[in-house]
Amino acid sequence: MNIHAIRAIYLFELARTWRTLFQSIASPVLSTSLYFVVFGSAIGSRMQEIDGVGYGAYIVPGLIMLTLLTESISNASFGIYMPRYSGTIYEVLSAPISPFEIVVGYVGAAATKSVILGLLILVTARLFVPFGIEHPFVMVAFLVLTSVTFSLFGFIIGVWADGWERLQIVPLLIITPLTFLGGSFYSISMLPPFWQNLTLFNPVVYLVSGFRWSFYGTSDFGVGLSLAMTGVFLLLCLTAVWWIFRTGYRLKA
């Protein structure tokens, strides 16, 4: 394994984060803080508990997951699209670097940014609402696994996109609505039976549910099912990335 190549790609992508600190870190944290102010403090104080958890604390895992998904996709897609847009991707492909090392460098950097952002939002949320974490190791496992999985998904989008607007289509029109409809602000059991059954086809539901379980020990689905669904999506993303490098789709054309 070419550790030097992975390290070079990884550090280059992280350096871009520090150069755009406000856009990459401060802006998502501030935006999520507004959710805590409005939903957690203002509205949450007037709502009943859900599964024995105060509403302000109940939405913390969902809001972290919302930011985690969108930022993982955004960071990874932009990271691979820029070399394609500028043409420097051909230098990377012609270098003595394997596809595995390229993916580890780009996806690893995007996942690292997302994990850091998730932890920052976790600390920020503590300033607005009190909450505890019953299973911290499971919480970290979900945080890392989700970041890696959706960074891979973002990598795929960055290869697929043929323009700047396409980079925003999936996070804006698909991932964000699925997260809002995936139990970020409510329990699935509060929905009518028809919508409960329809929600089962939303993969984000299982991520939010498992992540919430790591905080409060309560969830709409078993934590095993949530981990299994995340693993299935990770496997699908890995298969798609393998196919991209196997065929050279949009990389060598």
pLDDT, one tens digit per residue, over 146-185 is 999 999 999 999 999 888 888 888 777 888 888 888 888 8
Residue found by looking up tokens 């696994």 in the block: 145
Bridge partners of 50, per DSSP, are: 53
Are the C-beta atoms of 117 and 30 separated by less than 8 Å?
A: no
* Contact present, 184 and 176 (Cβ < 8 Å): no
Q: How far apart are CA 212 and CA 59, in angstroms?
A: 9
pLDDT in tens, 71-118: 999 999 999 999 998 888 888 888 889 999 999 999 999 999 999 999
User: What is the pLDDT at residue 18?
Assistant: 80
* Residues in CB range of 246: below 8 A, 6 or more apart: none
pLDDT in tens, 211-243: 999 999 988 888 999 999 999 999 999 999 999
Please give the residue that has the higher pLDDT: either 25 or 159. 159
* pTM of the model as a whole: 0.92
Q: Which residue has the higher pLDDT, 181 or 137?
A: 137
Count the helices and strands in the chain (H runs, E runs). 13, 0
Cα–Cα distance, 156 to 237 (Å, whole number): 8
Cross-strand partners of 128: none
pLDDT, position 136? 94
Q: Diameter of the chain by CA atoms?
A: 60
Using alpha carbons, list the distances in angstroms from residue 97 to 16, 164, 213, 239: 21, 27, 40, 19
Confidence label for 197 from pLDDT (cuts 50, 70 and 90): confident
Inter-residue contact 103 to 241 (CB < 8 Å) = yes
Q: Among residues 193, 244, 183, 27, which one has the least CA distance to residue 117?
A: 27
Rounded to whole angstroms, the Cα distance separating 248 from 253 reads 7
Q: What is the amino acid identity at position 200? A: L
Here the tokens at position 36 are 């805590």
